[in-house]
Structure 1
Amino acid sequence: MGEVRKLQKKLRQIENLEIKISQSLTPEERVKIFRKAELRTRLAELLLQLSGPQQTPGIVGEGKQEKMKRQVEATSEALPSHSPSATKIPKIPKIPKGEAEPTGRQKKTDSQKETVTRGETGRQEETGGQRETGAGGEQSETCLAVTDTSPKDNQEDAEFTALKASWEKAKFRLRSLEGHSDIITCVVAVDNLVISGSRDTTVKVWHVPTATEQRNLGGHTGGVTCLSAPPPEYCRRLAWDRSLGDKERFILSGSADCCVRIWALSTGQCVKSIYTFNAVTALCFVPEGDGYIITGSDGGKVQAWSWQTMDNCQSINAHEEAVTSLQSQGPLVFSSSSEGGVSVWEGLCTNRDPLRLLHHWDAKVTGCGSQGGRLTLSPRGDRLFVAYGRANLRILNWRTGTVCRLTNHSSIAGVTDCVHQTGGLLIGSCYDLANGESTLNLFSLPQCRYLASLTCADAPRILCFAAWLTGSGGHRWVTGGRDLTVWEQLPSSGKQRGDVTTKRDSRLDASLMESEGDSEDEEHSDDYDDDKEEDYTSQDASESGSTSWLRCVLQ
Structure 2
Amino acid sequence: MVLLFFVLQISRKAELRSRLAELQLQLSGPQQTPGIVEDGEKEKMKRQVEEAPGALPSQTPPASKIPKGEEPSKGRATPAPAARQRETGRGAEIGRQPERTEPGEVPDNCRDVSGGRSDFDTEPRPQQEEAEFASLKSSWEKAKFRLRLLEGHNDIVTCVVAVDNLVVSGSRDTTVKVWHVPTATEHKNLGGHAGGVTCLSAPPPEYCKMLARCLSLSDKERFILSGSADCYVKIWALSIGQCVKSIYTFNAVTALCFVPEDDGYIITGSDGGKVQAWSWHTFENCQSINAHQEAVTSVQTQGPLVFSGAADGGVSVWENRCSVRDPLRLLHHWGGEVTGCGGGAGGRLTLSPRGDRAFLAYGRSWLKILHWRTGTMSRLTNHNSITGITDCVHQTGGLLIGSCHDLANGESSLNLFSLPQCRYLASLTWPDAPRILCFAAWTTGSGGHRWVTGGRDLVVWEQLTGSGKQRGDVTAKRDSRLESCLLESEGDTEEDEETDDYEDGDDDSGEAKESAGAEDGGSAPWLRCVLQ
Shift of 1:495: 5.5
Q: Take 1:477 and 1:536, find their aligned partners in 2: how far apart are those partners?
A: 27
- Structure 1 residues without counterparts, runs of 5 or longer: 1-118, 124-145
What's 2:205 paired with?
Answer: 232
For residue 352 of structure 2, what is the amino acid of its counterpart? S
TM-score, scaled relative to structure 1 = 0.69
Asked whether 1:391 is paired with 2:365, we answer yes
Shift of 1:542: 4.8
Shift of 1:550: 4.4
Q: Take 1:446 and 1:147, find their aligned partners in 2: how far apart are those partners?
A: 23
For residue 255 of structure 2, what is the amino acid of its counterpart? A
Shift of 1:490: 0.3
Shift of 1:350: 0.6
Instruction: Say which structure, 1 or 2, has more relative contact order (CA 8 Å, 6+ apart).
Output: 1
8 A contact 1:324–1:550 mirrored in 2: no
8 A contact 2:428–2:477 mirrored in 1: yes
| 1:48-76, Cα deviation, whole Å (9 max, x unpaired) | xxxxxxxxxxxxxxxxxxxxxxxxxxxxx
8 A contact 2:407–2:516 mirrored in 1: no
8 A contact 2:277–2:285 mirrored in 1: yes
What's 2:454 paired with?
Answer: 480
What's 1:549 paired with?
Answer: 526
8 A contact 2:424–2:485 mirrored in 1: no
Q: Take 2:515 and 2:472, find their aligned partners in 1: how far apart are those partners?
A: 42
Q: Which residue among 167, 170, 177 is the counterpart of 2:143?
A: 170
Q: Take 1:147 and 1:402, find their aligned partners in 2: how far apart are those partners?
A: 32
What's 2:156 paired with?
Answer: 183
Asked whether 1:199 is paired with 2:161, we answer no
What secondary structure, in the 3-state scheme, does the structure 1 residue paired with 2:374 have?
coil
Q: Which residue among 411, 430, 439 is the counterpart of 2:413?
A: 439
| 1:300-334, Cα deviation, whole Å (9 max, x unpaired) | 00000000000001000000100010000011000
- Structure 2 residues without counterparts, runs of 5 or longer: 1-111
What's 1:297 paired with?
Answer: 270
What's 1:362 paired with?
Answer: 335
TM-score, scaled relative to structure 2 = 0.72
What secondary structure, in the 3-state scheme, does the structure 2 residue paired with 1:186 have?
strand
Q: Take 1:163 and 1:492, find their aligned partners in 2: how far apart are those partners?
A: 18
Q: Which residue among 339, 360, 385 is the counterpart of 1:411?
A: 385
- What does 1:153-168 correspond to in 2, within 5 Å? 153-168=126-141
| Distance 1:512-1:498 versus aligned 2 partners, 3 A rule | farther
Shift of 1:429: 0.4
What secondary structure, in the 3-state scheme, does the structure 1 residue paired with 2:415 have?
strand
- What does 1:335-350 correspond to in 2, within 5 Å? 335-350=308-323
- What does 1:145-156 correspond to in 2, within 5 Å? 151-156=124-129
Shift of 1:509: 1.7
Shift of 1:523: 7.4
8 A contact 1:200–1:223 mirrored in 2: yes
- What does 1:49-128 correspond to in 2, within 5 Å? 121=114
8 A contact 1:389–1:417 mirrored in 2: yes
Shift of 1:371: 3.6
Percentage of pairs with the same residue: 77
| Distance 1:351-1:542 versus aligned 2 partners, 3 A rule | farther
- What does 1:423-434 correspond to in 2, within 5 Å? 423-434=397-408
8 A contact 1:383–1:396 mirrored in 2: yes
Q: Take 1:307 and 1:552, find their aligned partners in 2: how far apart are those partners?
A: 33
Q: Take 2:201 and 2:499, find their aligned partners in 1: how far apart are those partners?
A: 33
| Distance 1:317-1:521 versus aligned 2 partners, 3 A rule | closer
For residue 395 of structure 1, what is the amino acid of its counterpart? I
| Distance 1:405-1:147 versus aligned 2 partners, 3 A rule | farther
Asked whether 1:264 is paired with 2:237, we answer yes
8 A contact 1:170–1:492 mirrored in 2: no
What's 1:215 paired with?
Answer: 188
4+ aligned runs moved over 6 Å, structure 1 = 146-149, 526-531, 534-538
Residue correspondences, number: 408
What secondary structure, in the 3-state scheme, does the structure 2 residue paired with 1:278 have?
coil
What's 1:53 paired with?
Answer: none
What's 1:468 paired with?
Answer: 442
For residue 159 of structure 1, what is the amino acid of its counterpart? E
For residue 440 of structure 1, what is the amino acid of its counterpart? L
| Distance 1:535-1:208 versus aligned 2 partners, 3 A rule | closer
Q: Take 1:265 and 1:218, find their aligned partners in 2: how far apart are those partners?
A: 13
| 1:109-154, Cα deviation, whole Å (9 max, x unpaired) | xxxxxxxxxx99599xxxxxxxxxxxxxxxxxxxxxx999952221
Shift of 1:493: 3.7
What secondary structure, in the 3-state scheme, does the structure 2 residue paired with 1:230 have?
coil
| Distance 1:403-1:277 versus aligned 2 partners, 3 A rule | same
For residue 491 of structure 1, what is the amino acid of its counterpart? T
Question: Which segment is superposed worse, 381-390 or 506-515?
Answer: 506-515
What secondary structure, in the 3-state scheme, does the structure 2 residue paired with 1:503 have?
coil
Q: Which residue among 487, 492, 506 is the counterpart of 2:480?
A: 506
